[in-house]
Structure 1
Amino acid sequence: MSQGTTGNLLPKGAAALGRLSPRKLAALMASAPAARVAVRDARWWLGAVWLAVSALLLAMVAHIVLVGALQHSRTQAVAYNDLRSSLANAVTPVGQLDFEGNLVALGTPVALISIPSLGLQEVVRQGTTGEILRGGPGHSVDSVMPGQAGTSILLGRQSSYGGPFGALQKLAPGAEISIVTGQGTSTYAVFGMRRGGDPLPDPLGKGEGRLQLVTADGPALLPTGVLYVDAQLTSTVMATPSAVMLASALLASQKPMAMNPDAWPGVFFSLQWLVATCLLVLWLRRRWGGWQTWIVGVPLVLALAVATADAFASALPNLL
């Protein structure tokens, strides 16, 4: 075989490689595969992160706009039926203790609040943890029930889970608030609105009643503080049972803007499953093809993203 024929059999570019020194040629051959692997791995992980973040952001928006509102509506419907039944049977709690002498269980429906000027009507349940406030306003367990002598404190979310207290800043002085409890119907008139650092209202006189509505202040989901709306009782003061729990005994998880640290393990657990599923989807895409993978993988990724968003929402402050 002639030299010219042999030259034609050489791979394209071999002549250029032949002009390199042995040391440079060895370095090039050693580095090229590693570079290809590094680029492929970087794209692989970037794709997985992009898919997980996109699914999580979409799930967060869907959770705030739709899923949380549906959860709130469902909880309200059940609580309304429970409250109506307890009122009919005269067993609705009217103090910190129930009719058996035990502390009223958290989540128990205790009142129905109506604010005509805002078009608001919500069942109020006992307790103010983030979990309870998912379903509507909550009554602070250390305060008196609405309609009684003293200050009754109700907390509600500003924007998530239906945002029942999201329009409190629109209340004008004199706006009427009506609340139904196990003792009857009480009415209040708004007289003030304040934020952190503002002067507190004058102390209550003997036998007077007051209502304090509490929610987050500032842009939705980006609170700058806490908003307080004060209202004076204008109807007859109801009988007031003796208190067995003071404000000093209130758990940190039930205070305004309290967060739930116990929810973070669930967030990380759900997030791990979401990332692992995104990696699996990308791997299957290379084995199955695009359409088959998306048909199977997209619903699974979205379901895990919604679960992660729900767990994340549980860890956020209780007034958001």
Structure 2
Amino acid sequence: MPMLPLSPRTATVVRGIGRTLIGAGTLLLLFVAYQLWGTGVAHSREQARLEDRFDAQLAEVGRMLPDDDASTGDPPPDESTTTTLPPELVAALDPSPGDPVARLRMPTIGVDEIVVHGVGVADLRKGPGHFPDSPMPGQPGNAAIAGHRTTYGQPFHDLDRLAPGDEIHVDTLQGSFTYRVMPHEGPEGDERGHFIVPETAVEVLDDAGDDRLTLTACHPKFSSRQRIIVTAELVDEPAAPLPDAERPGTDDAGSVDAPGPDPAPGDGAAADEDFGEGLGGDPDALVPAVAWSAAFLVALAATALVGRRWRRWPAYLVGAPLMAVPLVVAFAHIDRYLPAY
């Protein structure tokens, strides 16, 4: 049966809807590409800058401490480990959010990342983030680090590939430390190097009575519904901790909370909380996202208008950079507003 011809007005509306849908689909694909690859470029740039800063910090610490001021190993006789940390190093171990604090290397899965202090939105976009309330890696207790699995370099993408016994190396201002991945029983009774907990099982960050490293990331990929957890025991002697008054897990009098047993997922007192990582997005990014999106639409409309009155392809060639700049900036703010995994 032959199709009835459309009226000019209807044809115009149909063409307009079709072009709008094609344009929206193209923008959506471009945004997905930005999230998967563009964020990786930003992450690589931040990591290069952080590596330079961290190397400079290591050099500075090496210059200001004498050779016999080793910060790892057994303390000198008749001295408490809480007083062996030189004042200069105590000051250096008081970073601000986003500052580099360690280098994390996991040869089994090809990870070599600079760890920053903090787990906020901006922090985790730079690299893996150290939970501020946990000890520094290498120090006594449970040092905890969070990272993304699918965006911003996806440093923890392959945490599930770590096997019991795999080594994790961490370099800090106090020295180099080796951790060994601990075994956990899988749902089918198999032994694996990770376990899965609800997003509220923050007790995995508690002191378990040993010296360990806890790595956390979203699970499954592209979702924050659960967390994948890897724990690794410290093989070396721990570094000297911060003075009691500054150590996480101590009260105002300086006494350390008694360590508890290895935390069982879902049984902690903080089960109604979450890990507090910067995964939920930044609400403050909404206004600039809308503003830059509007700027892109204005540039697009202006380019289309010039193309109609002049020549289409030369107009779009000239207008391309004028549209690309606000579009990329808009993508950056939209990505910052949305959850990141």
The percent of aligned pairs where both chains have the same amino acid is 27
Alignment partner, residue 238 of structure 1: 239
The total of aligned residue pairs comes to 278
Aligned residue identity for 2:231: D
Which of structures 1 and 2 has the larger relative contact order (alpha carbons within 8 angstroms, sep 6+)? 1
| Equivalent residue, structure 2, for 1:315 | 337
Alpha-carbon distance between aligned partners in 2 of 1:100 and 1:152, rounded to the nearest angstrom:
19
3-state DSSP of counterpart to 2:195: strand
1:60 to 21, 25, 31: 31
Q: Whole-Å Cα distance in 1 between the matches of residues 224 and 206 of structure 2?
A: 28
Task: Note the alpha carbon deviations across 1:266-298, whole angstroms, 9 max, x for none.
Answer: 221122222233322332232123212221233
Secondary structure of 2:137's aligned partner: coil
Residues 209-250 of structure 1: per-residue CA shift (max 9 Å, x gap): 11111112123x3454221111112211211113466799xx
What is aligned with 2:294? 272
Match of 1:26 in 2: none
Looking at structure 2, the residues matched to 256 and 225 of structure 1 have their Cα atoms a distance apart, in angstroms, of 15
Deviation at 1:154, TM superposition (A): 0.6
Residue 146 of structure 2 is aligned with which of 146, 155, 160?
155
Report if aligned partners of 2:47, 2:113 keep a CA contact under 8 Å in 1. yes
SS at match of 2:139: coil
CA distance in 2, matches of 1:293, 1:305: 18
Answer yes or no: is 1:176 the counterpart of 2:167: yes
**What are the Cα deviations for residues 142-200 of structure 1, in whole angstroms up to 9, with x where unaligned?**
11100111111111111212111101111111111110111111111111422224997
Inter-CA distance 203–58: structure 2 relative to 1 (3 Å threshold): closer
* RMSD of aligned residue pairs (Cα, Å): 3.5
Partner of 2:57: 86
Aligned equivalent of 1:112 = 103
Give the letter for the 2:48 counterpart: A
Letter matched to residue 166 of structure 1:
H
User: Compared with structure 1, are the counterparts of its residues 202 and 275 closer, same or farther at alpha carbon in structure 2 (3 Å cutoff)?
Assistant: closer
Take 1:143 and 1:272, find their aligned partners in 2: how far apart are those partners?
A: 43
Where structure 1 has 5 or more consecutive residues not aligned to the other structure, the ranges are 1-34
Question: Please, what TM-score do these two structures have when normalized by structure 2?
Answer: 0.70
Residues 167/72 of structure 1: CA separation in 2 closer, same or farther (3 Å cut): same
Q: Match of 2:135?
A: 144
Report if aligned partners of 2:100, 2:116 keep a CA contact under 8 Å in 1. yes
Q: Give yes or no for contact 1:172–1:190 (8 Å, CA) kept in 2.
A: yes
For residues 205 and 185 of structure 1, do their structure 2 counterparts lie closer, same or farther at Cα, with a shift above 3 Å needed? same
| 1:263 matched to 2:285 | yes
| Structure 2 letter corresponding to 1:88 | A
- Whether 2:126 is the aligned partner of 1:124: answer no
Q: In 1, distance between residues paired with 2:208 and 2:123? A: 32
Matching residue within 320, 323, 326 for 1:304: 326
The residue identity in structure 2 corresponding to 1:78 is R
* Structure 2 SS opposite 1:145: coil
State how far apart, in whole Å, the 2-side matches of 1:231 and 1:238 are.
Answer: 16
Deviations 1:3-42 (A, max 9, x none): xxxxxxxxxxxxxxxxxxxxxxxxxxxxxxxx86686577
Q: In the alignment, which residue of structure 2 is the partner of 1:217?
A: 219
Q: Could you tell me which residue of structure 2 aligns to residue 73 of structure 1?
A: 44
